[in-house]
Each structure stands twice: as C-alpha cells, then as structure tokens.
Amino acid sequence: MNQQELLDFVRGTGLQIAAAVFVLGMVYRMLHLMLLGRKKNLAAPRGTEWGPGLRTMWHRSIPSVGLTSRGYFIVISGYIFHLGFLITLLFLSQHIDLFRSVFGFGWPALSPGLITITAILTIAAMIALLVHRYTDPVKRLISDYQDYLTWTLTFLPLLTGIMLKQGIALGYQQMLIVHIITLELLMIATPFTKLVHMFTTFSARWYNGAISGFKGIKV
C-alpha cells in the first residue's frame, strides 16, 4: 500500500471503522450502564432528582470544595488540558471542515496561531499531569497501565497535529496519515477505556446530584 492509498484508507474506510467502533462502543457502554438500573428509592423524598441531577452535571465543573495546592495543580492543569484539547479539536479550521462534512454545518475558526499556542499549552499541561501522575504518591498508587495508555492515545493526536501544522518532520502527506491514524486509535479506544468518562462523567454527576437532590441537598 503506497502513501496515497494509505491516506485514502485512513480518510475513508479507516475513519468509517473508527466511527463505527466509537459509536457502537459508546452507545453500548452508556446504554449498558443505564440498563443495569437502580432500585426505586422508597424513602420519602425531601427534594427532586432531575433538577439537582442536571444542576450537578454542569455545577461540578467548578470546584466548590476548598483545594490544597496539590488540588489546585490538578484542577488547573486538568482545565488547561481539557479546554485546550477541546478548543484545538473544535476550532481549527481543518477540523471544522471535517465536522461540516459530517454534520452539515460549521462554525467560525480561530486563527492558526492561536490554535498553535493552545495546543502547546495543552501539551505542556499534559506533560505536567503525566509527571505528576508518576511522582505524586496518591496518583501513582491509583494509576494502572490504562492511565498511561490513554494519556499516550490522547497526546499523540495533539503532537502529530502540531507537527503537521508546523511542518516538523515527515512530509505533509505522511504526517497527515499519522495524525489521522492517531485520531482513529483514540476513537477506537475511547469506549473501552477510562476515556469513556467523556460521557460517563455527566451521568455520574447526574446520579450524584440526584442522590443528594432526593435528600434536598445541593452538591
């Protein structure tokens, strides 16, 4: 398979496979979790579940409990990484082209310079978080191979994206192929690793908010 064929494959069939695995896996995981069900709560409610559940879904994004310096580090790096990743993913014009072709609509792009700075900050935050994962006794204890695997899978599209954009190493075509492959690996891995938290975070928050909401507590 020559490069052109490889590019055609990753832009076509490869992306189809990745999208199919991603969608299949995500629908399966989310539905499977939901269908596990929970017992009807027979206690007399003091509050409701839905409202507080929905509130916690977004409210938990803002840390409300006092943080230690260690906590600040995790939250701030985590924020830079998550926001940076999303901005890079959603606001680079080439990525918007992709979304437009899939969803039929697009949105204004940010300038490539801004995206590059964001991506560099994101990479820096990710490296800082990796070092912290390895050196912080708590995180080191609770980490398993998956934490390092998913870090790598998330890091590679960012790195290859920057290299593609800046023309560092390999030609445009090779780097584009590598970049798309890293994205596809990320998509395929997401439903079956802790990356599934991109969805379960919100259902978990809903349950947390709902459990407390039932008791009339805002969390």
Residues within window 27-86 making contact with other proteins, judged by CB under 8 A: 27-39, 41-44, 46-47, 56-57, 60-61, 63-68, 70-71, 74-75, 78
Q: Which is nearer to other proteins, 123 or 161 (CB)?
A: 161
Inter-residue contact 107 to 96 (CB < 8 Å): yes
Inter-residue contact 209 to 57 (CB < 8 Å): yes
Q: How far is the CB of 97 from other proteins (least distance, A)?
A: 4
User: Could you say which of 48, 51, 86, 93 contacts other proteins (CB under 8 A)?
Assistant: 93
| Contact pattern for other proteins over residues 142 through 181, marking x by CB under 8 A | xxx--x-----------------------xxx--x-----
User: Could you say which of 131, 168, 169, 217 contacts other proteins (CB under 8 A)?
Assistant: 217
Q: Cβ-count burial of 73 within 10 angstroms (0-12 exposed, 13-18 middle, 19+ buried)?
A: middle
Q: How far is the CB of 198 from other proteins (least distance, A)?
A: 10
Q: Rg of the Cα trace of the chain?
A: 20
User: Could you say which of 124, 149, 152, 208 contacts other proteins (CB under 8 A)?
Assistant: 208
Q: How far is the CB of 214 from other proteins (least distance, A)?
A: 8
* Window 179-198: residues binding other proteins (CB under 8 A): 192, 194, 196-197
Q: Cβ-count burial of 101 within 10 angstroms (0-12 exposed, 13-18 middle, 19+ buried)?
A: exposed
Q: Is 127 in the site for other proteins (CB under 8 A)?
A: no
Q: Which is nearer to other proteins, 121 or 211 (CB)?
A: 211
User: Could you say which of 48, 50, 86, 100 contacts other proteins (CB under 8 A)?
Assistant: 100
For residues 58 and 34, give the distance between their C-alpha atoms in angstroms, rounded to a whole number.
20
Residues in the chain: 219
Choices 106-114, 119-127, 152-160; region in contact with other proteins by CB under 8 A: 106-114
What SS3 state is found at 64? coil
What SS3 state is found at 168? coil
Return the exposure string of 109-142: e unless at least 16 CB atoms fall within 10 Å of the residue's CB, then b. bbeeeebbebbebbbebbebbbebbeebeeeeee
Inter-residue contact 209 to 53 (CB < 8 Å): yes
Inter-residue contact 165 to 116 (CB < 8 Å): yes
User: Could you say which of 21, 128, 149, 170 contacts other proteins (CB under 8 A)?
Assistant: 21
